[in-house]
Structure 1
Amino acid sequence: MKANGPFKILALLFVTVLAFYLIAYHTIEGRRNRNGPWIVAFTNDLSGAPALRIDHPALAITNVQLVFPDAMLPTNFTAKTILFQRPRPVPFPLPMGECIFMDTTFLPGSVVMRMSGHEVQLIPRVLTINGREQPWKSGETIALTAILTNAISPRLNGR
């Protein structure tokens, strides 16, 4: 009978630890996912220019549009909506440009995209475009025109 004692204690300890783990896991996952992901639609505006529509209903951010009037849509472009929910290695391609940073540990997290020479960062507090913070305003349309950059690096220019 004494051999049964340690087994019962170990079984009880295992069940207790397992229950604690399951409760902690579901609590953390619930907090991590409660606000939901960024919803970004890659589309075009009425003139055919590439555009993004950014939504996040839990943060009361809806229909924020970024339009790239000087850019061209890729030839094989099809409109697509992406939910930035699951982490994945960066950079990865998007329908227009690429995602260069994504932290979705606690949703909505932070997403940084590079498109048509512009860097767009989605964070709950503000929208950042090319390093400049802009407050979120639902229904706003922002036109991002071409950025003039020196395409020749000093190293490549023989200096």
Structure 2
Amino acid sequence: MKKTIFILLLLVSFYNAMAQGFGAAVSGGYLTEIGSFGATGDLIYEFSEKWGVSTDATYSVADAKSTRAKWFAVDLNARYKVYDEVYLLGGGEYLSITLKQQGLGGGSIGQESETSSNDFGFNAGAGYKYNIIDNVNVFAEAKYVILDAGYFHARLGLLFDF
């Protein structure tokens, strides 16, 4: 019984220690290459006062005449707080692009075709986090992604600390 209580207390204390620097965010932003807005979900872990790591997934769709472009990007970034809540970030990105060409008349004349491509790249950027209430923050972030077709991604969102 003592071992069970000890293990339970150890797990609870470990969870509390881990949860101090953990956060999740939702945001919306503009991606220049696709020329559209996208939605992003983030997971953030700050393991020291200055350093942290984040991962995010962005989904964006753009329609132009008879072409529909779908982007899905996943980032893994290191974050460094420069001053107060201003941070720099840098890391890698995986980008999946799907282009769907409809035939004439929205697909009624001619065939539809779909092509996909994947790419890996690097990104660098900066952001700022502003605390609204206890565990809720507003943040703004801008980064440039270096790929074959590099693009700029600016976004605004809500960050929840756990």
Identify whether the pair has TM-score above 0.5, normalized to the shorter chain: no
Q: Identify the structure with the greater strand proportion.
A: 2
TM-score range relative to shorter protein: 0.3 to 0.5
What is the TM-score of this pair, normalised by structure 1?
Answer: 0.36
Q: Identify the structure with the greater helix proportion.
A: 1
